[in-house]
Amino acid sequence: MKSNSQIRREARKNLSGFTYEGQPISGSYPESMWGTFVLMTFLYMIISGIAQSPCNVADYLLQLDADSGVAFPLYLCGIALILLVLPMGWGYVVSFLNHRRGVHVDIDQLFMGYKQFGRIFVAYLLNSLYVLLWTLLLIIPGIVKSLSYSLMPFILADNPGMSGEQAICRSMEMMQGNKFRLFLLILSFIWWAILAILTCGIGFLWLYPYVYASLAAFYDDVKADFEKKDVTAEA
């Protein structure tokens, strides 16, 4: 198993156009993907913000003691838009895994989840529902379960015939013994997040690609170890 510092180093190299062995991903010269992923992050944040805006307007109206008959339809509209954006979140996450593996990534990959809308939508809906139910019990179990389900988007990408429920179960299996390691990996970005806040949020356009490239590297590391254990068990 690789250390979190090794995983972050791999992510930085990958975003700069190198494999973690130090070789250019394509051609004789490295092609940095920072610009593409920053643009993709910006677009995803804008669309997600628009999807959430009806709920924000509804909250504002309720704070002003406005007619709740207007706020309720706005909430329904906002929830519907947020649900429609879920496959876009999958495309964003998986694009980092694709690039890591040498697949050419462009802005169009942000929307690739809509080609299998039903499968991705159900997977994310189940994921969100399970985390919510665990969080309603206590905050800590909700955090633990969100870590357990975290590999689900990558598993769906690697297994086109797998359902959302199966991907969640596989993620739980793969994350046994790895949840705290992932928690520490996420926690290691806290100082970068503080710096991003100090830039009025602009820094998140670079931080998010760094985080998700690291999560893709983390997934590949966990997957390799998981498959190795399976082979050992079969032997």
What is the percent of the chain where pLDDT is above 90? 54
Which whole number is the average pLDDT over 28-47?
Answer: 85
| Residue 60 structure tokens | 């504002």
What is the percent of the chain where pLDDT is above 70? 89
Model confidence band, residue 215 (pLDDT cutoffs 50, 70, 90): very high
Give residue-wise pLDDT tens across range 172-208.
999 999 999 999 999 999 999 999 999 999 999 999 9
**pLDDT above 60: residue 234:** no
Give residue-wise pLDDT tens across range 116-143.
999 999 999 999 899 988 888 888 888 9
CB distance 87 to 117 below 8 Å: yes
pLDDT on residue 21: 58
pLDDT on residue 24: 66
DSSP character at residue 51: H
**pLDDT above 70: residue 230:** no
Instruction: Please tell me the total count of domains within the chain.
Output: 1
pTM, 2 dp: 0.89
Would you tell me the crossing angle of helices 117-137 and 164-174 to the nearest 10 degrees?
50
Give residue-wise pLDDT tens across range 73-115.
888 888 888 888 989 999 999 999 998 888 888 899 999 999 9
Give the domain extent around 68: 4-234
| Residue 24 structure tokens | 């250019």
Whole-angstrom distance, CA of residue 70 vs CA of residue 62: 9
Ordered DSSP codes for 11-38: HHHHHTTB-TTS-BSSSSS----HHHHH
